[in-house]
Amino acid sequence: MPRVIKHPDLRRSEFLEHALATFLTRGYDKTSLNDIIAESGASKGAFYHYFPSKEALLEALADRVARQAFEAVNHVVHAPDLNPLARLNAFLAASRQFKLETASQGWRVFAALFSDENQFLYQRITHAWETLFRPTVTELIAAGVAEKVFDTFDPEGVGDILQRLVSSTYPIVAAALNAKTIEERRQAISLFQRRLRLHGIAIDRLLGLSDESIKLVEPGYAKALMATLPAPNS
C-alpha cells in the first residue's frame, strides 16, 4: 500500500492531542518526550521535526488549549450592534456557555491540571489564556471609556484585575470537585456563586457602573456548571 502522507498541520495537531492525553494521564512532570512519541506511534525524527524539546511542546500545547477556548468566545467582541458594556457582558456570557458545553470533558482536564505533577502545565495554559484575554478586555474597556460608558483612568489595570478575580475562584471550584459529601459540594457551589457576584460588583465600581452591571455570573449558572461534576465520593 502507498504510504499516507498527512498534512503538516494535521500531523502537528495529532502530536499535541497525544501529548495532552499523556500529560493528563501520567502527569506533566512524570512524562518524557519518549513516552509521548511511543503513544503517538511516530518516529523520533518526525516528532522532533515539530517539537525539538519538551519546552517547545509545552508552549505549543498551552497556546493551542488557550486559543481553542478563546476563539469559542471571541466572536462577540466586535459585534457592531452592541455598546461596550453589552459586548463585555456578551463575551463573559459566551465564556460561561462554553464552559457549560464542555463541562463533561472539562472537569476531567481541570482535575488533572490541579494535581501536583501538572502545576507547571496548568500555569503555562493559564498564562497563554491571559495573554489572549487581557488585550481583548482592555480594548473593550478602553472603547467604553471613549464612549463614556465606563469611567476609569486605567483600562488595562481593570482588565488585569478582572482576569485575576476570575482566576481566584479556581480553588473554590477545586474544592467542589474534591468534595467528599453532597453538603461539601453544596457549600462550595454557594460560595462560588457569591464570590462571582462580589467580583462583578467590584468591577462595576472600578468602571463607575451601578452594581451588577457586569455579569460575571447569572442565576443558576454555578448550579448548572457544578451539576456536571462527578458525584461526591460519599
> Measured between alpha carbons, how far is 72 from 98 in angstroms, rounded to an integer?
7
Predicted confidence band of residue 142 (pLDDT cuts 50, 70, 90): very high
> Measured between alpha carbons, how far is 17 from 71 in angstroms, rounded to an integer?
18
For 186, half-sphere exposure in the C-beta direction (CA atoms, 13 angstrom radius) is: 3
pLDDT tens-digit series, residues 175-196: 877 788 888 888 888 898 889 8
> Measured between alpha carbons, how far is 70 from 163 in angstroms, rounded to an integer?
13
Contact status, residue 225 vs residue 172, Cβ threshold 8 Å: no
> Measured between alpha carbons, how far is 107 from 113 in angstroms, rounded to an integer?
10
pLDDT at 76: 82
Task: Report the phi/psi class of residue 16: left, alpha or beta, with left for phi > 0 and alpha for psi in -120 to 50.
Answer: alpha
The residue assigned the cell 519518549 is 34
Burial 222-234 (b: 16+ CB within 10 A, else e): beebbeebeebee
Q: What percent of the chain has pLDDT over 70?
A: 85
Contact status, residue 106 vs residue 125, Cβ threshold 8 Å: no
Helix or strand holding residue 156 (H, E): helix 155-167
- Give the dihedral sign, CA 141/144/150/154: positive
- Whether residue 232 is predicted with pLDDT greater than 80 in this model: the reply is no
pLDDT tens-digit series, residues 101-141: 776 666 566 666 666 667 777 788 788 888 888 888 899 99
